[in-house]
Chain A
Amino acid sequence: MTALLWLQTGSCGGDTMSMLCADSPSLEDLVDEYGIEVLWQPSLSMEPMKKLDVLIEAILADRQALDVLCIEGSIITGPDGSGMYDPYRGRSKMSLVRELVEKAEYVVAMGTCAAYGGVHAAPPNPTDCLGLQFDKKNPGGLLPIEWRSRKGLPVINISGCPAHPNAMTKTLAMLASGLPVELDHLNRPKAFFNTMVHQGCTRIEYHEYDVEDAEFGNKACLFFNLGCQGPMTVAICNTELWNGRSSKTRAGVPCFGCTSPDFPLDHDLFRTEKIGEVPVHLPLDVARSNYMAYKSLAHEAAPLRVLNKKMDP
């Protein structure tokens, strides 16, 4: 059995709702097939909350094993460092989390809020939010960057706003079955964070030939004008579809980079900042001069079906 405890801190509950949408594996599969015992999940547990108190006490006294601790939500440290904007039983959740992580074999941040601070940490960060081991992209959050769980891993960051349903359940299934979880430089499992969002986007042919939309509701690429961060963002949105169906970019909604530590960016989210004709932020690791040369050639090579936007995304 793998004993799992799920706590919500400063959250909208969206990661829980997202996980209920997972289908490969589903939440039921985790319970039925992977031996995950849900000690506590705030939306799903049948027992009254008194059980949570008892559980916490038992975990802190080492009477109850805690294999996986999942945290959903920003760590709220305000006001004035007290954490009391997000209390639990007259103390701060912040302090409770700090104690519980020391007892866990693995700690998993479910969503960008728990990983990096997220939407609640957007300027002016009114409640002084942090992630568990990062403050936006800066190392060190509630816990120092060198912190390790009992199994020797840092906090595993399943970022996303919300986190992708199957990224959450697959990670839990990997932990429960003893599969290795390799992390990237932001402590995200590489299995879900080594492809760009625009890899697999159905507008990619437009992107390739530099055919860009200037207004919403159309068929072409959203990168040059409409704020899409798909070429700079790593996530599985277009390789393992949302709700088994689609992705924001396929549906004509820009990628807002919600798996990145600096989500949400503090400039206009629906417009691309540009220098001349070319975006300020280029696809990951691309050199500007090369990119400009490639784009001008690409547009020249565009076939009419692309130029005239004949293809549905």
Chain B
Amino acid sequence: MSRKIIQIDMNRVEGDVDFQLELEGSRIVDARCVGSLYRGFEQILLGRKPMDALVMTPRICGICGTAQLNAAVLALEHLARLPVPPAAMRIRNLCLMAETVQSDLRQSFLFFTADFCHPKYRSLPLYDKARAAFLPFQGEIYRGALEHSRHIVEIIALFGGQWPHSSYMVPGGVTTPASSRHLIDGLSLLNKLTRWFEKSVIGTPLDDWLALQSADEFFDWLEAGEAHADSAIGLLTRMSREIGLHRLGCGTPHMISYGAYDDPEDVENFSPYRKRLFKAGFLNGDAGSIEPFDQNEITEHVRYSWFLPYPGGRHPFQGQTVPDYQPHSDRYTWCKAPRYRDKVVQTGPLADALIDGEPLIHALYRAEGGNAWLRQFARLHRTARLLKAMSQLLHELAAHPGEPHILPPADKEIPDGEGFGLVTAARGALGHWLQVRDGVISRYQVITPTAWNASPKDSEGRHGHWESSLIGLTVEDPDDPVEIGHIIRSHDPCLVCTVHLLDTGKRLTVWP
């Protein structure tokens, strides 16, 4: 079998990661996902005051700092058993949703669809339309996404002062109430984005589009006129399917979701036992069933990671993050390998929608599986749902004027103990596990969504989700394997990826 070495490099993602892929003929037979940047956040948090996590952890990620802040505050509230008033939950949810809409628009139209402008697709009938829509800095949708993603985070600035990186969620609530001025500002910002979304992204009124519930209804909609077919989501779907992305990049069949957005009606329960607006669960890909989620079932392995080794997997409360950089060993990444019930799982908007029981995504999944197109489609479908949910939240806040936005904790110090905060960030399941001893942080473990998806092999040698979504893929033109770019970007990697293919035995790269 002939072996080839090529190099594919990716940008338009967040952070740093390499892919090392082994090709046999034109088929990928092995894949290693390499998180190459080490920043040491978990070490920096040790010995600090617990509240400092609200300042430090948003800086883990420039695109999902609000979700990091939420995970940190939920962990503190869990530890200290603090109640949160409904208005605070609504304001938190509104800001989390605004951040996710921002991220999904940028991921879709600044990062993902630009690939459709690749010269390789010059001969496709949709090419000119795709370029007119998606070309960086020039395409109509690209420019619309730049503008509208910029404005939607103004909603976060109304309550948090700024985006990115604020610390307005504090134990017991939020720092600013929803004044009538904020609510009207929030609504006008939301309405402006919603009108653009309806006109340019779905070509349909929001409620009508959200009413599509089956695969047939969706494909009938797609063909019912130019406004649908040439909408951003119409073009994205037609280009993806012409290229075959609806048959590629499925990865592991198991999925998790922590559920999203604390239910403000549930005032009985404290985090993490509060009900959520979007359900948590584990989709067991072997049985096809959705089972209850239990964070006790999470472990992290370091067999193939550059951390001080320990056998098997450990729950984050027993977690250990001691760097042990061994570039010339068989260990290959700064990511740990998280497992749920000892299974390789994926997380993200597709997992969230399936576990929540969203009918259209479920129907499309049953028809064709969890492919690269559906993963991307699920992300934009979520945007539509969130725009509707944000409008509802603003109206609920308006219906409860003057309700408290914070219940200041009686004790100003966070007591010793442990707590965790599990949230759904734009890229999926995000968890913080916190232990406090003698008034300071004694352990802080973070599992980001990308840690789940970009996982290396575990102690048993089982590949992570991205790795397995590439293994078996046939690369048509190894000198320009653009399909790999589509697949990796469909996962919304929060890492800057380089993908390079290796010769067996002899590791060849183009750099020294």
Contacts and interface: CB of A to CB of B under 8 A. Distances in A.
B110 A44 contact: yes
Interface string A118-140: 01101110110000000000000
A126 B44 contact: yes
At the interface, is chain B mostly helix, strand, loop or mixed? loop
B162 A217 contact: no
Contacts of A268: 49, 51-52
Contacts of B8: 48
Nearest to B511: A89
A23 interface: yes
Interface in B9-60: 9-16, 36-40, 43-44, 47-49, 51-52, 54-56, 59-60
A246 B182 CA distance: 11
A312 B159 CA distance: 14
B51 A161 contact: no
A85 B324 CA distance: 11
Interface string B440-451: 000000000000
Interface in A25-50: 26-28, 31, 42-46, 48-50
A184 B101 CA distance: 38
Contacts of A15: 62
Interface string A245-271: 111111111101010000010111111
A303 interface: no
A123 B511 CA distance: 33
B133 to A, nearest CB: 14
A42 B512 CA distance: 22
A81 interface: no
Nearest to A119: B59
Contacts of B59: 12, 14, 119, 161
Contacts of A124: 43-44
Nearest to B145: A20
B10 A48 contact: yes
Contacts of B86: none
A96 B412 CA distance: 47
The interface residues of chain A, by DSSP majority, are classed as: loop
Given A14-B65, A90-B511, A44 B12 contact: yes
B86 to A, nearest CB: 15
Interface stretch (A101-109, A236-244, A276-284): A236-244
A268 B49 CA distance: 6
B207 to A, nearest CB: 29
User: What class of interface size applies to chain A in its complex with B?
Assistant: 35 or more
A256 B44 contact: no
Given A12-B61, A85-B325, A252-B176, A90 B509 contact: yes
A124 B16 CA distance: 23
A112 B10 CA distance: 26
A216 interface: yes
Nearest to B53: A269
A144 interface: no
A16 B62 contact: yes
Interface in B161-216: 161-168, 170, 172-177, 179, 185
Given A49-B10, A49-B498, A17 B164 contact: yes
B153 A243 contact: yes
B392 to A, nearest CB: 22
B37 A86 contact: yes
Contact of A20 (B51, B136, B150, B160): B150
A217 B110 CA distance: 37
Contacts of B110: 43-44
B388 to A, nearest CB: 23
A79 B325 contact: yes
B61 A217 contact: no
B461 to A, nearest CB: 25
Given A8-B496, A43-B11, A127-B38, A20 B165 contact: no
A21 B150 contact: yes
Interface string B89-119: 0000000000000000010001100100100
Given A12-B62, A251-B175, A256-B167, 11 more contacts: A14-B164, A20-B146, A45-B136, A46-B136, A84-B325, A87-B36, A90-B509, A161-B165, A216-B406, A243-B150, A312-B179
13 contacts: A12-B59, A14-B59, A21-B153, A45-B11, A53-B9, A86-B36, A120-B39, A122-B56, A123-B44, A243-B162, A252-B168, A264-B55, A264-B56
